[in-house]
Amino acid sequence: MNEILTGTYLAQGDWACAEGAIAAGCRFFAAYPITPATEIMERMAVRLPQVGGDFVQFEDEIASMAAVVGASYTGAKAMTATSGPGLSLMAENVGLALMTEAPCVVVDIMRGGPSTGQPTMAAQGDLMQARWLTHGDYEMIALAPASVQEMFDLTIEAFNLAERYRLPVLLLADALIGQMYERLVIPEADQVRVENRKKPTVGPSDYLPFQVDDSLVPAMACFGEGYHFYVTGLTHDESGYPDMSPQGQGRLVTRLCAKVRERAGEIIRLDMYHLEDAEVAVVAYGMVARSARRAVDLARERGLRAGLLRLVTVWPFPTRFLDGLSHRLKALLVPEMNCGQLVHEVRGAARGCSVHSLPKPGPIPHSAEEIMEAMEGIEI
Amino acid sequence: MSGGQVKFPLDDLLRRDRFPHLWCQGCGLGIILSAFCRAVQEADIDLDHLVVVSGIGCAGRLSGYLNCDSFHATHGRAIPLASGAKIANPDLKVVVISGDGDLFAIGGNHFVHAARRNLEMLVICSNNFNYGMTGGQLGPTTPFQALTKTTPFGNWEEPLNLVQLASAAGATYVARWTVTYTQRLTNSIKKGLQREGFAFIEVVSPCPAIYGEMNEQGSAWQMWEELEAVSRIRDGIPPAEASLDIHERIICGDFIDRERAGYTLRLRQNRDVARQKALASYG
Ligand SMILES: Cc1ncc(C[n+]2csc(CCOP(=O)(O)OP(=O)(O)O)c2C)c(N)n1
Ligand SMILES: [Mg+2]
């Protein structure tokens, strides 16, 4: 059975995500059914046993996320997929994955919330949850696909980032992207770039499981390799042992943040459209960015120099880039399918121009006309 | 031995640099640790393939003293974390050692489902009848009317019979011992380690410093004497009849010993079916 189903398809976003995971080398998947992410799970149930992997439907999302961490520590590339209510349940063990530096991928197909909300309908209400899912100090990486093709491509990217930086990486897609059907091109196997975690170069007697070099990312031994290492969610030192000293806390969380912050330039991916000469620009991600792109075309037809900054990586946030951009613009517009989340981050970053909010709670995304009119309505 | 450390029989199994341990005087966890180490030795378990996972609590610290791959997970989530490890690498020998609150209150659902799946792992519960680590609150095994920090006028809830639950959920090996039966406990752990299925051992373990103190059970020594006096071995009796009353009668023994296909074996069979179906449908 082929691991990479090279070809051109009319595919659903969730399906593309599952195929992207398998192409990236995912061989362990644990989840609990939830709309609108269930199709990822159903595809994995078919595909993983065919390619020699393991699929398990656990008793809840808490168990699913714990199992992903356990599988990751055997060396497996592991993933789970859920929606808001399930993501809320995963919070504590996503924190465990951050603290124990267990590479893995968590997919959130966003639906309306809070609580059970609108299970089958779209929203972008989890942006801040993606950033601050669990308690404590940490950095998150979250990618926001805007097409079925990106559901495939960015799932692979999520695994690569997880392996490179040893952390859980979130794929944050709104329900419309997960559920829609679109053209998908799955490339030849040799065109898929796959990264793997750094393994120890020393033997068990010299191995310190959380010792780092300049990359700030420790080499990872796995269960069963003879290293006899101890892992704890408690604050720990290089040897992995609990460290309750005041310095211990500072050392560990500073490194956990720094390994992402110092590499933010390599991690962040932005899609820029007509920004070179823009006076007004839209900042958006996911489904809303698609309307925004059309809105830019419409506005330009009517003589307004409009542009679009689409966030492919929503976290870490491109603070410095946005600030620089804002000094070349007259205004920024932030349409989003919620009551206003991204706009606060944009306001915090962009000090060179005015920032305007265009919130719209789901499930209907902004139309291109709505975004265009909002751009035209800004006094510049 | 000039300046060198004295060598003890269990040294190879322990992280000597982690001692002294953090448990209180008279606590039963030291006995569980040494019984476990002896059982690993006697069963000739390959330390390179042994993974011990624990949750949070006094019992949860046990994994940190063992010289093998070990993981101190979140509260209640040792079993699902261990499940992920076992499923992703069935060559591992996976053991969960944790407390009564961790495994049966916050983690109770995971216990039921891992037993139902017959995941090949040994689960050892140190039952000290309260939440030791957080200072002595009510737990799912706290006896009726016992005093804890959160039942200051006496517990009005009834405790869970752990071996009955384990059996009903489908565990293939179920036993209960008190820490006073060190040899039988060791043999039982050995059996559990050798089993290719879900094995469960409840170990009644005194907590003189907190639970005993609150319930005026006297010194650690007196608590141990009482444990010895009330315990009886009844191998093979139905787990529902294996009662546990810390002042009257504690029924110990091997209660369940049966065969059933293990979970990772079933997963491998599922792979074979999936591959055959795929070949058929792709011609
Ligand atoms: C999610 C969460 N809730 C609460 C706690 C606090 N806590 C730590 S240990 C513990 C109870 C442990 O009791 P038990 O499992 O019986 O272990 P013991 O200490 O008695 O060995 C609690 C409630 C926690 N660490 N995590
Ligand atoms: Mg307890």
* pLDDT, chain A, mean: 98
Q: What total of structural domains would you count in chain A?
A: 2
> pLDDT above 90 covers what percent of chain A?
99
- Angle B279-A20-A312 from CA coordinates, rounded to 5°: 165
Q: Is the bond preceding A316 in cis, omega lying within 30 degrees of 0? A: yes
Condensed to tens digits (0 to 9), the pLDDT of residues A74-126 reads 999 999 999 999 999 999 999 999 999 999 999 999 999 999 999 999 999 99
Distance CA A226, CA A19 (A): 33
Which ligand is nearest to the Cα of residue B57, counting in written order? 1
Choosing from A191, A220, A235, the residue where a domain stops is: A191
Provide the CATH number for the domain around residue A65.
Answer: 3.40.50.970
For residue B253, what is the enclosing H or E element? strand B249-257
Q: What's the B22 CA to ligand 2 centre distance in angstroms? A: 15
Residue A252 domain-assigned (yes or no): no
pLDDT in tens, A135-193: 999 999 999 999 999 999 999 999 999 999 999 999 999 999 999 999 999 999 999 99
Q: Is A68 close to B84, i.e. CB distance below 8 A?
A: yes
- B198-204 and A104-112 as β-strands: parallel, antiparallel, unpaired? unpaired
Residue A236: inside a domain: no
The answer on A184 and A303 residing in a single domain is no
**Are A159 and A21 within 8 A, CB to CB?**
yes
* pLDDT (mean) for A263-288: 98
Q: Quick one: A12 and A144 in the same domain?
A: yes
Q: Whole domain around residue A330: which residue ranges?
A: 269-376
Q: Is residue A242 part of a domain?
A: no
Residues A160 and A285 in one domain: no
DSSP for A109-142, written as a single string: EEEE-STT-EEEEE--TTHHHHHS-SSSS---EE
Among B18, B71, B267, whose Cβ lies nearest the Cβ of A73? B71
Q: What is the CATH number of the domain that holds A279?
A: 3.40.50.920
Mean pLDDT (whole number) for A203-208:
97
Torsions phi, psi for A65 (to 5 deg): -70, -35
Domain assignment present for residue A57? The answer is yes
Note whether residue A220 is domain-resident. Answer: no
Q: Judge if A55 and A170 occupy the same domain.
A: yes
pTM of the shown model? 0.98
Read off the pLDDT band of A1 (50, 70, 90): low
Q: Are residues A27 and A123 in the same domain?
A: yes
Which of A162, A191, A220 corresponds to the end of one domain? A191
Residues from chain A that touch B87, judged by Cβ atoms under 8 A, are: 28, 54, 56, 67, 71
In a domain, A357, yes or no: yes
Contact flag B88-A27 (C-beta cutoff 8 Å): yes
The answer to whether B163 touches B88, Cβ cutoff 8 Å, is no
Subunit contact A50:B72, Cβ cutoff 8 A: no
From chain A, the residues in CB contact with B47 under 8 A are 228
pLDDT score recorded for residue B283: 45
Q: What angle do CA A208, A210, A214 make, to 5 degrees?
A: 105
Residue closest by Cα to atom 3 of ligand 1: B75
Asked if the structure places residue A80 within a domain, the reply is yes
In this structure, the answer to whether residues A290 and A178 fall within a common structural domain is: no
- For residue B47, what is the DSSP state? G
Chain B residues closer than 8 Å to A242 by CB? 64
Q: What are the tokens at A204? A: 């068990």
Identify whether A303 is part of a domain.
Answer: yes
A153-to-A172, A185, A271, A318 alpha-carbon distances in Å: 13, 10, 14, 21
Strand pairing category for A118-122 and A104-112: antiparallel
Distance B139 CA to ligand 1 centre (A): 10
Q: Which pLDDT score, from 0 to 100, does residue A22 have?
A: 98
pLDDT of res. A183? 98
Residue B6, pLDDT score: 80
Is residue B241 within 8 A of residue B174, CB to CB? The reply is no
* Predicted pLDDT at A271: 98
Measure B129 CA to ligand 2 centroid, in angstroms: 5
Residue A302 and residue A187 share a domain: no
Q: Which domains does chain B have, with CATH numbers?
A: 9-281 (3.40.50.970)
Residues A179 and A274 in one domain: no
Residue nearest to atom 12 of ligand 1 (CA): B57
Question: Are residues A289 and A174 part of one domain?
Answer: no
Do A64 and A173 have their domain in common?
Answer: yes
CA distance to partner chain B, nearest, from residue A62 (Å): 8
Asked which of A191, A222, A256 is the last residue of a domain, the reply is A191
A2 has pLDDT over 80: no
Residues in chain A: 380
Say yes or no: A289 and A158 in one domain: no
The one-digit pLDDT tens for each residue of chain B (283 residues) are 445 668 888 999 999 999 999 999 999 999 999 999 999 999 999 999 999 999 999 999 999 999 999 999 999 999 999 999 999 999 999 999 999 999 999 999 999 999 999 999 999 999 999 999 999 999 999 999 999 999 999 999 999 999 999 999 999 999 999 999 999 999 999 999 999 999 999 999 999 999 999 999 999 999 999 999 999 999 999 999 999 999 999 999 999 999 999 999 999 999 999 999 887 776 4
pLDDT at residue number B282: 60
Same domain, A317 and A172: no
